[in-house]
Chains A and B, each alone.
Chain A
């Protein structure tokens, strides 16, 4: 594989992992605009656990511990976050990410503003395997009773309560598992690039990840996958096309069209690309393989 393709594949893998981390709470109607915060936590935690000056643990163990650490933090803030909803929740998660970034940049033992080197290297295959595992896990999770509960909360919270769904538990669980996944993504980021700095995880990253999920659609587990692939592939495709034509201006300004495209998408398909209705339609037309066929939509 060429270096260029490989670097694109890595970005794609990380995007998919992040997107599922935001998708799980979004599947229950919680909008999390704080992805950067959780990713920072995961990246720095794993880096520190792995660092010989830090805890000096092996890479798999430090990634696992980083996931647990991020999960624990998500669990702790999930309860106060449950007090907020709608615009307030978007703002609260956004503020959380800013606080995390503000704190890490001031911690001397984490390298402060200069960033932190990470010892062990995670090769591309590790990333790909982890991504596949995350995708399969999320598909499984959405097919369990918890997934059903999340979807019902997403559609109507009061009715879910009436039907005996433990709404609070389901929401906190979704938020926590989502946080763990983003922690995993952050840890893999750190171990792959072997260097992390808090400035890399900024507001725009949070915005992009939330957009992957909302554009892909929050109704089915296909949404974040489609959204992330779309976001990773389309700008690069535009860039390559522009270079073929020989227009460097177009190559540089591809994100303008991309922004316009997002706006137009909201007009044409406001529920996201993949909806439950679409999945069912495709499923009934090709009754044998629902998943396989809606996968072709990508």
Chain B
């Protein structure tokens, strides 16, 4: 029974990884680059959520408290985190995608969006460190210990809600990509940006939308992380969000449903290895699995062989 409880906990943690992994996979699938600003955005959202809930924002604390009241500051936190992360995504788009368009005929040189995204990662991390320090920041969960039991299994409401929310968002995303005009444009860009342009897709207008979507996914994941785990710090981007990379590769680069299954599997794997072996050991199974998959089956479970094969 304890094992089953651990599996459930893993599934709940996996729900967060799913959103970050989907964000990674969207950018890789559409634009073919590994976006290291995603961990930064995740961290930024989580810290902004914390800052609003504890009235530690650089400005506007009183106004937010007036609007939402002490008890409901978390609603304000959600809004603040989403707004800030969306704006940040738009800025990031300028400096990673726009200049990727100008092509430099040389393999490593195409790493330039990777480098800029690493630059953003450093920038955001140090913004948070200089504002709030590098220690752990804690917040009291607005929902307390709201839990319910099925049999002897314990579920906490925020975790269940976040799992449902993340799956719901992925369903919505799937619908957008498969059924709408925007989705068709996105898929055509993923196929070949030049042809998409010839077919009348305004690439420079669509791409910022992709960035905002990934930003929103990170923001929601970060917000849910703060609510569920109540402890954040400037480094959760490196330590938490990068695990989602393993989930993405496991599912296959560029595949949204692959990212969902991969994210959930990584969450379960993490919780189980903590439960069975110990907290220090958690890196080995996750990254070892990733290494093995990359070497023997780089397409992952549902991946496309074409994605990520080319130069940067």
Contacts and interface: CB of A to CB of B under 8 A. Distances in A.
B206 interface: no
B108 A102 contact: no
B291 A99 contact: yes
Interface string B213-256: 00000000000000000000000001000100110010001000
A106 B102 CA distance: 46
A186 to B, nearest CB: 18
A206 B100 CA distance: 23
Q: Max chain B CB contacts within 10 Å: which of A80, A91, A155?
A: A91
Contact of A87 (B32, B124, B283, B288): B32
A101 B239 CA distance: 13
Interface residues of B, number: 55
Interface stretch (A9-17, A67-75, A209-217): A209-217
A92 B292 CA distance: 9
B298 A106 contact: no
Interface stretch (A46-54, A56-64, A259-267): A259-267
B115 A266 contact: yes
A204 B238 contact: yes
Contact of B291 (A95, A202, A218): A95
Q: Max chain B CB contacts within 10 Å: which of A155, A211, A266?
A: A266
B280 A105 contact: yes
Taking chain B's interface residues, is the majority helix, strand, or loop, or is none over half, making it mixed?
helix
A88 B308 contact: yes
A154 interface: yes
A84 interface: yes
B108 A256 contact: no
A136 to B, nearest CB: 23
B300 to A, nearest CB: 10
Given A106-B284, A259-B119, A155 B95 contact: no
A270 B242 CA distance: 26
A98 B246 CA distance: 11
A129 interface: no
B85 to A, nearest CB: 17
Given A99-B283, A106-B281, A252-B130, A91 B290 contact: yes
Contact of A83 (B120, B127, B298): B298
A234 interface: no
Given A101-B283, A258-B122, A87 B312 contact: yes
Contacts of B280: 102, 105-106, 112-113
Given A87-B312, A154-B107, A266-B116, A95 B123 contact: no
Contacts of B102: 270
Interface in A166-206: 202-204
Q: Max chain B CB contacts within 10 Å: which of A87, A261, A267?
A: A87
A163 interface: no
B182 interface: no
B151 interface: no
Interface of B: 28, 32-34, 36, 95, 99, 102, 104, 106-109, 111-116, 118-127, 129-130, 238, 242, 245-246, 249, 253, 280-284, 286-288, 290-291, 294-295, 298, 308-312
14 contacts: A31-B111, A87-B34, A88-B294, A95-B287, A106-B284, A154-B107, A202-B238, A204-B238, A211-B119, A255-B122, A258-B126, A259-B120, A270-B104, A271-B109
List of 10 A-B pairs having minimum Cβ-Cβ separation, nearest first: A259-B123, A102-B283, A262-B119, A29-B107, A98-B287, A255-B126, A253-B130, A259-B122, A87-B308, A102-B284
Interface of A: 26, 29, 31, 80-81, 83-88, 90-92, 94-96, 98-99, 101-103, 105-106, 112-113, 154-155, 157, 202-204, 207, 210-211, 214-215, 218, 249, 252-253, 255-256, 258-263, 265-267, 270-271
